Amino acid sequence: MQNHSPGKVIAASALGVMAGLLQIIGLPLSMVCVGGTVIAPLLFAWAGLLPAAVFLCVSVGSLAALLGVGAAAIGALIFGAPAVVVIALMRARAPFFTRMKAAAGAQLGAMLALILILYAALGRSLVDVAMDMFAAWADGLSPQMAQFLLQQFALTGMGTLMTVETAQQILTEGLSQAETLAMLHGIFDTTGQALRLGLPAMLLSSGLLTGMLATALPGYVCARRGGDLDYAPLFKWRLPPRVTVGALVCLVTAGALYAAKADGAESVLNAVLNGGVTVYAAAGAAAISRRFRETGRSRGFRIALIAAGLWIAPRLVALIGVASALLGREGLITGYMKKKMKDQNKEDDD
């Protein structure tokens, strides 16, 4: 990679320290996207290896200080190992889509490895370990901090994590430390019950999204700086036909298991559907970008339109992606029809 000025390295390292100290917030958000796997390659693309290493070290250290050695080990596996894989491929100048597939595979592999390790070592699920970890952390808070945390849950979880009446009581009346901790433990139990059903779906979609962002964002930074790292803008993203075939096979299989009322079939079906939405939403965003790029729309307009679509109607964007994967210029059905026409023309010539 290119040489970087001392000022840039220092600034990036400072940002890495700040982001690493906030990893206690980032670790629970790994169910949506593993921020550490994205931030470390991004810092590497911007200012070199040192800021990325600083971020990873501070992240693991902060988790060890706040949640214990176990949490630090989980963090090192969940975001440390995949980030190292992504950075290694960037240093090796691997092609863009090779890096993306490897990043998603490394992230999903790390999550699967964590689940297997927890079952083998403790006989417990990832959700159980995570909820116990946060319950123990809450027990160590001061009465004022515990009350503040409970109030935040009351504001954000009114009607879901707790009834409206309970939330209003928390916000208007003072609770004892024992009552506060009891309510926090109840919230963690309720959250854990919901996560057990949706965990496979969240991990799959999180791994896929993380792989895409950990490749695209650092690649964009390098491209803006004029680096020689291979980069494909969003409008060049296309799903190979074999991915669509594989997705259809997975959907049919999961649907058959659900119809047969097999154990765990609902979780499997949710995982397939969520993973499909993630992949095809990206394909839909790429299709939208291609379409409006051809009409001469600016990049800012395309980004705003795609962001609004993903925020307001992500499943509609995913449906656009499905249509593109099936009927686009390089879609599965389009390719089949072209092949049939080619074979027909060949027979007519004979």
The two structure tokens encoding residue 212: 């895409």
Across the chain, where does the E strand assignment appear?
none
**Is 237 in contact with 219 (CB distance < 8 Å)?**
no
79 within some domain: no
Q: What is the pLDDT of residue 212?
A: 96
Q: What is the pLDDT of residue 68?
A: 86
36 within some domain: no
262 within some domain: yes
Which domain, by its residues, includes 291?
A: 233-350
343 within some domain: yes
Count each helix (H run) and each strand (E run) in the chain, helices first.
16, 0
Q: What is the pLDDT of residue 347?
A: 64
Which one is predicted more confidently, 218 or 335? 218
279 within some domain: yes
Longest dimension (CA), the chain: 89
pTM exceeds 0.85 for this model:
no
**Is 268 in contact with 278 (CB distance < 8 Å)?**
no
Q: What is the pLDDT of residue 30?
A: 85
42 within some domain: no
Percent of residues, the chain, with pLDDT higher than 90: 48
184 within some domain: no
Q: What is the pLDDT of residue 157?
A: 63
Asked whether the CA dihedral 302, 303, 308, 313 is positive or negative, the reply is positive
Q: How confident is the model at residue 1 (pLDDT cuts 50, 70, 90)?
A: low
Number of domains in the chain: 1
Q: How confident is the model at residue 350 (pLDDT cuts 50, 70, 90)?
A: low
Interatomic CA distance for residues 172 and 29, integer angstroms: 29
227 within some domain: no
Stretch 92-105: mean pLDDT? 95
- pLDDT tens digit sequence for 293-334: 999 999 899 999 999 999 999 999 999 999 999 988 888 888
Q: What dihedral angle (degrees, nearest 10) is formed by the CA atoms of 287, 289, 290, 293?
A: 160
Interatomic CA distance for residues 308 and 6, integer angstroms: 38
Residues in a beta bridge with 158: 162
